[in-house]
Amino acid sequence: MSKTLPIALCLMLAMGAPLHAFSAEVSPKVSIQQIRNATIKVTYGGQVFLVDPMLARKGTYPGFAGTYRSHLRNPLVELPESVESVLRGVDAVLISHTHLDHWDDAAQKEIPKSLPMFVQDNADAALLRKQGFKDVRILGTGTVFNGVRISKAGARHGSEEMYAIPEVGKLLGATMGFVFQQAGLKTVYVAGDTVWEAEVRETLKTFKPDVVVLNTGDARIDGFNTGIIMGKEDTLRVHQMSPNARIVAVHMDAVNHMSVSRYDLQDYVIEKGIESSVVIPQDGEVIDF
């Protein structure tokens, strides 16, 4: 997104046009670009945020042990554009948690060490500082970055039953979502890797987001009959609780343990009659709001 004034706008200024005459033309846009997997770029309030970067080439890593289709290598598909293009214009990076499919070796190597990096807690902050990043910040309930308010949102990366088993709970770990706010702009909630649980419902109730980004691939680990992130039915649940919100569904078709594809979700939202409220972007696609 250009941070300079359009030529037509400058001409209006030179001719003495009042500010209100072109205020609509320069109002910051809100857009979300699906990069791949859970990696997205959020353009908001004149800032560009890169969320959960996984930047490796197709097939770089072995499948996640103990998960669905672990024989497949990750990522399953290539990035839709070069890493340089993905990083172009980025003002800050937000990392919901440091699992490989949200923060991988390629991202650690390619992202400039001086970029502001937002993480969920002291443990993740210490990890990124050890990896050489110079400006690591812990996200709070209302962190302000260049005029954009970003709030940490609660999330749980699996069922209570899973977290009751110490070794599984440790594997799943802590994670978070984010809420972007600025006066005059639509509120955007990025739920992150979470199941449908109380803190998600509280975030929807409290912030009343206009846009909700959901990780809907219904990732599965061995030995459990429920997923560790949202799936088809959760998309309907979010719509029912926030019927006026546009849902952007991501985190599908790119890593081995996803059990719901874009095609599966598209069929489901059509069956439920909510297709006008759910956007399922292809890799590289930009959605404006």
Domain residue extents for the chain: 28-288
pTM: 0.90
Class of domain 28-288 (CATH, top level): alpha beta
Report pLDDT for 28.
66
178 near 52, Cβ under 8 Å? no
Rounded average pLDDT per 10-residue block, the chain, 289 residues: 42 43 53 98 98 98 98 98 98 98 98 98 98 98 96 98 97 98 98 98 98 98 97 98 98 98 98 98 98
Report pLDDT for 142.
87
Chain position carrying tokens 């990522």: 75
Report pLDDT for 1.
40
The CB-based long-range contact list for 54-61 (8 Å cut-off, 24+ gap) reads: 54/100, 54/101, 54/102, 54/103, 54/104, 54/106, 54/107, 54/254, 55/79, 55/83, 55/86, 55/104, 55/106, 55/107, 55/110, 56/104, 56/105, 56/106, 57/106, 60/104, 60/105, 60/106, 61/100, 61/104
